[in-house]
Amino acid sequence: MTMYRIMPKENRMELFRSGKFATHHQEQDLEDWLEHNPDVLTDGEPLLVIRRQLGSPSSGTLDLLALDSDGNVVVIELKRGKAPRDAIAQALEYAAWVAGLSHEEIVAEAEHYSAPQTFAQRWADAFDSTDQEADDAATVLPADLRLNERQRIFLVVEGDDERTATVARYLRREGVDFNLVTFHYYRIDSGEEMIDFELTVGQDQDVATPPRAKVGRRRRSTEEATLARWSPELQGAYEQFRDRLQAAEPELLRLEPWDRNIIFRRQMRDESVYICSFAPDVDDASAAMVGIRKPSLAAYLDVATVVRDLESDGPEGMSLTKKSKRVMLTCEVGLVGQVAELIVRHVLQPLAEL
Asked, as a colleague might, if the bond just before 315 is cis with ω within 30 of 0, I would say no
Domains assigned to the chain: 3-205 (3.40.1350.10), 223-352 (3.90.1150.20)
pLDDT for 186-233, tens place per residue?
888 878 888 888 888 987 555 444 444 443 445 677 899 899 989 999
With 0.75 as the threshold, say if the pTM is over it.
no
Is the pLDDT assigned to residue 324 strictly greater than 90?
no
Model confidence at 126: pLDDT above 90: no
CA dist., res. 136 & res. 118, Å (int):
10
Lowest mean pLDDT among 115-124, 230-239, 335-344: 115-124
Rounded Cα gap, residues 259 and 219, in angstroms: 6
Query: Residue 158 in contact with residue 78, Cβ under 8 Å?
Result: no
- Give me the pLDDT at residue 269, please: 76
- The average pLDDT across 233-259 equals 91
Lowest-confidence segment of 70-74, 183-187, 312-316, 335-339 by average pLDDT: 183-187
Computed over every residue of the chain, the mean pLDDT equals 85
Least confident of 38-52, 167-181, 259-273: 259-273
**Confidence (pLDDT) at 222:** 87
- Give the Å distances, CA to CA, from 195 to 19, 33, 78, 158, 248: 10, 11, 14, 10, 29
Lowest-pLDDT choice from 3-7, 125-129, 304-308: 125-129
306 and 297 Cβ atoms separated by less than 8 Å: yes
pLDDT of residue 153: 96
pLDDT given for residue 211 in this prediction: 42
Return the higher-pLDDT residue of 326 and 210: 326
Of 221, 178, 175, the closest CA to residue 199 belongs to 178
- Measured CA to CA, the distance from residue 348 to residue 301 in angstroms comes to 10
**pLDDT level of residue 112 (50, 70, 90 thresholds):** very high
Please state whether 149 falls in left (phi above 0), alpha (psi between -120 and 50) or beta. Answer: alpha
